Amino acid sequence: MSYRRRLLELAAPLLALLFALLVGGIFLLAIGKDPLQVYLTMFRFNLSRLDSIGSILYKSTPLIFSGLAVAVGFRVGLFNIGVEGQYFIGALLASIVGFSLHGLPVWIHLPLVVLAGMLGGMLWAWLPIVLKLRRGAHEVITTIMMNHIAYALVLFFITSVFLDTEQEMVKGLGSPQVRMPKLLETARMPTMHGFLETLGIELPRHVYLNWFFPLGILLAVALFVMLWRAAYGYELRAVGGNPAAAETAGINTQRTMLSAFLLSGALAGLVGLSDLLGYFGYLDIDFPKGYGFTGIAVALLARNSMLGVILTAILFGFLRRGAEGVQAFEGVPMDTIVILEGVIILSIVVAVQIVNWYVRRQEKLMKRRQVTMERAGGD
């Protein structure tokens, strides 16, 4: 009975994915590709190679942080669209601390850089939330504006303030990059290769999976505990659920909103660090954009569950890695992949709804049957 319900619940996301693949398949057919072939390639490419697994986890790392940042905001009733700008400022601060502080041991420098990133995110979250609490300016508007300011500001810092003019060029090859100085070795986040080797796993060198991934999972678990076990998390949910009632109960709603939004900003500040400290090693004008917005989808799909964010972030990582494979082996153009990703996100959202509805209906039918049976046996 409840065993069957369990099964349905477990099956729900899988059915949703199936539906998504179906809709995506229609698009693939439309551009003249064999969807089955494409999907087969995608799954084989993703699941049969160790470097793909590592890459999926690497790609999911920033999305875990941005998903968590958005989800924390939603839990307190605030829509943080500003994760995008917050991680840019976070990366900027982390980069500055990363190349400018010489002579520190790694166990001091690296944490400082990470803290600088979080501080940057908090800084960029601070203004919108203060404007909201003091002046009632809606956070959706202000954070969007802060995003644009952040892009421009980071560009300005890269090109005009900290432009690295001492780049060593390979003789006669190319032009200098538009970037800030390289981070010191003590500021780089080590990859997980060494650790995995001790477990007997030989991760190929071209995969940059680093310690931010386990850090993200750890943070998600910590946030889960905070939300559902700590007094602060209880207050956060209360304010998110009904601020007037929380206030009446004596909870300081303003302070809770402020701290929760700053927490969201601090998490956002971590989003760019896996790329910055674990891969590029410098901040340039091509620093990846868009993690903040994808984070909204990640959080929504996870229904703002902290642990769910881990799974949905990995799902997105899966799609992105799969896209690379499909592009390389099936010649599906990159733009189509982007469209496909959007379609899949949408279909998953729709499919989750449909499956939930179906599950509820099934439950109802089962209950009705049960009531009838009890009736027959009872009186």
Q: Considering CB under 8 A, how many residues would be counted as binding another protein?
A: 26
Residues 326-365, one symbol each (x = binds another protein by CB under 8 A, - = not), give --------------------------------------x-
Identify the residue among 39, 126, 234, 279 touching another protein (CB under 8 A).
Answer: 234
Identify the residue among 37, 100, 159, 252 touching another protein (CB under 8 A).
Answer: 252
Amino acid at 15: L
241 binds another protein (CB under 8 A): yes
The pair phi, psi for residue 179, each rounded to 5°, is: -155, 170
Q: State the Cα torsion 225-87-193-169 to the nearest 10°.
A: -170
Min dist CB 256 to another protein, Å, is: 11
Written as one string, the DSSP assignment of 151-215 is HHHHHHIIIIIS----PPPPTTS----SBPPPPPGGGSPPBSHHHHHHTT----TT---BTHHHH
What's the CA gap between 145 and 152, in Å, rounded? 11
Quick count: other Cβ atoms within 10 Å of Cβ 29? 12
248 binds another protein (CB under 8 A): yes
In this complex, which beta carbon is closest to another protein, that of residue 232 or of residue 329?
A: 232
In this complex, which beta carbon is closest to another protein, that of residue 75 or of residue 109?
A: 75
Residue 320: alpha-carbon gap to chain centroid: 13
Identify the residue among 50, 249, 307, 373 touching another protein (CB under 8 A).
Answer: 249
Stretch that binds another protein, among 194-202, 222-230, 281-289, 335-343 (CB under 8 A): 222-230
Q: How far is CA 41 from CA 203, 325, 339, in A?
A: 21, 7, 18
Stretch that binds another protein, among 57-65, 151-159, 211-219, 231-239 (CB under 8 A): 231-239
4 binds another protein (CB under 8 A): no
What's the CA gap between 71 and 211, in Å, rounded? 22
Identify the residue among 161, 173, 231, 376 touching another protein (CB under 8 A).
Answer: 231
What's the CA gap between 185 and 281, in Å, rounded? 9
In this complex, which beta carbon is closest to another protein, that of residue 167 or of residue 370?
A: 370
47 binds another protein (CB under 8 A): no
Written as one string, the DSSP assignment of 9-21 is HHHHHHHHHHHHH
Residue 140: alpha-carbon gap to chain centroid: 19
Identify the residue among 4, 138, 148, 229 touching another protein (CB under 8 A).
Answer: 229
Residues in the chain: 379
Spatial contact of 28 and 34, defined as CB atoms under 8 Å apart: yes
What's the CA gap between 154 and 161, in Å, rounded? 10
Spatial contact of 123 and 262, defined as CB atoms under 8 Å apart: no
In this complex, which beta carbon is closest to another protein, that of residue 206 or of residue 375?
A: 375
1 binds another protein (CB under 8 A): no
Stretch that binds another protein, among 28-36, 57-65, 246-254, 347-355 (CB under 8 A): 246-254
Min dist CB 112 to another protein, Å, is: 25
Return all residues near 110 (Cβ < 8 A) that are at least 6 apart.
186, 187, 188, 189, 277
In this complex, which beta carbon is closest to another protein, that of residue 44 or of residue 237?
A: 237
In this complex, which beta carbon is closest to another protein, that of residue 174 or of residue 250?
A: 250
Q: Which of residues 114-173 bind another protein (CB under 8 A)?
A: none
Strand partners, 200: none
Identify the residue among 37, 100, 242, 353 touching another protein (CB under 8 A).
Answer: 242
100 binds another protein (CB under 8 A): no
Task: Catalog residues that contact another protein under the rule CB under 8 A.
Answer: 226, 229-232, 234-235, 237-238, 241-242, 244-252, 364, 367-368, 371-372, 375
